[in-house]
Amino acid sequence: MPAQQGRTSMLHRSLVVLGFLAFAPLLGTTPSGAAEITCIQQYGNSPISEDLASKLWPSGFRPSASACRDALLQGTIGIGDYERFRAFYRQQHRGLHTLYLASPGGDAEEAMKIGQLARKYLLRMWAPTRMEANGPFRLYKPDGLPRPAHLCWGPTCICASACALIWFGGVDRFGQVGLHRPKITDPQFKALQPENASIVYRRVLQEISRYLEAMEAPRPLIDGMVATPSAEIRWVDYDDDNLEDPPSIHEWVDASCGSVTREERKIALSGPASTEREEMLRKTLFAKSSNRSVCQTKLVYSRRDELPGP
């Protein structure tokens, strides 16, 4: 979770409190360049029925063919990326629904601000996944042709460190992200006496922990991040670790769309059953799960439609 010079930061604020001259470094290693934010799926010319559009955008907004539905944030997160993302989102407000992530990390403060904006506008997050234990990661688009099967593949195709902070801002989350406690490489930090270094580091860690708590990350997960040295990575999975959505968002959707248990969804997505009775149950649960998903999409889009742009 990196760092940069030339602005007020978590480390800067902590040093100022201690009475040290601070020139505003940030967390971790200095990022080179900035993340790239690109549209990877437009609405195109496929018509959306007026009946559906009126439910997605009650305000009367209708996306143009060139409006962006899915975007990709790729590369190291650097200073100014929040403002760049905010400007990008402002142009795509009401249309943008999913943000794909492929980043090894970067500036933690920038990432948390992007995550907060993503939560406000109810964005879905999609991170790379491993198909097998210790295998390479890949980031893919699930909707099929004419979209590319893979956006990235291999050891650099990850969402870790500061990227994971963005991911936790999503109201729907897919994929796997890597966590560790922050690393501070600024010379001012290593020059501190141990007791002062502890004060500075605890304040930095508390700010990140407060953000994750606000994003409703489970407390054991935050504790696991703190327990993971900055030179290591602890991988968490949206499904295995039950991180697909924040608890409050899950219950909010349930209140309008009904609930589907994890076991029901597992049965719904399984292959054809061996008996007619089991297959009938599978199809019933598949329909139930699909109906909730459609309802959730309409709910999220319509609530986003009510919000003014950033």
28 DSSP assignment:
B
- Looking at residue 33, its pLDDT comes to 57
Mean pLDDT of the region 96-104: 96
| pLDDT score of 291 more than 90 | yes
Instruction: Measure the CA–CA gap between 34 and 98, rounded to whole angstroms.
Output: 20
Mean pLDDT of the region 60-83: 95
CB-based contact 127:98 (threshold 8 Å): no
**Structure confidence at residue 89 as a pLDDT band (50, 70, 90):** very high
| pLDDT score of 2 more than 70 | no
- Looking at residue 32, its pLDDT comes to 47
Q: Which of 222-231, 251-260, 268-277 has the lowest mean pLDDT?
A: 268-277
pTM of the model: 0.88
- Looking at residue 26, its pLDDT comes to 32
Find the DSSP H helices in 18-137.
50-56, 81-92, 108-120
The string of pLDDT tens digits covering residues 171-215 is 999 999 999 998 887 888 889 999 999 999 999 999 999 999 999
CA 157 to chain centre: 15
Q: May I ask the CATH architecture of the domain 10-244? A: Alpha-Beta Complex (3.90)
Q: Are strands 150-154 and 172-174 parallel, antiparallel or unpaired?
A: unpaired
Mean pLDDT of the region 286-303: 96
Closest CA to 221 of 211, 268, 231: 211
Average pLDDT, the chain: 87
- Looking at residue 149, its pLDDT comes to 61
pLDDT above 70 covers a percentage of the chain that reads 87
**Structure confidence at residue 124 as a pLDDT band (50, 70, 90):** very high
- Looking at residue 186, its pLDDT comes to 82
Instruction: Measure the CA–CA gap between 40 and 152, rounded to whole angstroms.
Output: 13
Q: Where do the domains of the chain lie?
A: 10-244, 249-298
Q: Reduced to 3 states, what is the DSSP secondary structure of residue 268?
A: helix
The string of pLDDT tens digits covering residues 144-163 is 545 556 788 888 899 999 99
- Looking at residue 143, its pLDDT comes to 61
Backbone angles phi, psi at 50, to 5 degrees: -65, -30
- Looking at residue 160, its pLDDT comes to 96
- Looking at residue 53, its pLDDT comes to 96
Instruction: Measure the CA–CA gap between 113 and 107, rounded to whole angstroms.
Output: 10
**Structure confidence at residue 7 as a pLDDT band (50, 70, 90):** very low
**Structure confidence at residue 46 as a pLDDT band (50, 70, 90):** confident
- Looking at residue 22, its pLDDT comes to 27
